[in-house]
Amino acid sequence: MTDESQLPPSQPHREPGVEESEPTVLDYFKSVTKDWPSFITFLRSLIEIEQRAQVNRAVAEQARLQAEPELVEEPLVQPARPGRFTWRAGAALLLALMAQFLLEPPGANAELGVALYAFAAGLVALSFFRDEWQIVP
């Protein structure tokens, strides 16, 4: 019997004339996850790369701000808001609720329900085009 520990480690079979190619993604994954210290080192390098990128972005932003002339900020102008309640939107909501009630099963009246929905949509559109709805800045 021969002692296997004395044998030289076997080399992978390579075909003659074929050069060794670059490592694959699987090889990289195996090298990163082979043990905890390798994995921790990999994570640290990722964090350092992100920190460097963040510092570079901050430096570039600061350089950009220094290179630009200072802009004078204009105060925001509040749009004119109507002082009254937008009754068209409220009426549209009530009409839509009545239309939904008419479409419920124990006494459904589909024609009247659809007509009320159409009228409610018209009131909402009219309210919108008369600028009764303002987006808050």
What would the pLDDT profile of 16-33 be if each residue is shown by its tens digit? 555 668 889 888 888 888
User: Mean pLDDT over all residues of the chain?
Assistant: 78
Three-state DSSP class for residue 40: helix
pTM of the predicted model over 0.85: no
Three-state DSSP class for residue 95: helix
Distances (CA, A) of 65 to 60, 74, 83, 87: 9, 18, 42, 48
Q: What confidence tier does 88 reach under pLDDT thresholds 50, 70, 90? A: confident
Per-residue pLDDT for 5 more than 60?
no
Q: What confidence tier does 135 reach under pLDDT thresholds 50, 70, 90? A: low
Query: Could you tell me which of 97, 95, 90, 98 has the C-alpha nearest to residue 127?
Result: 90
Q: Are 84 and 91 in contact (CB under 8 A)?
A: no
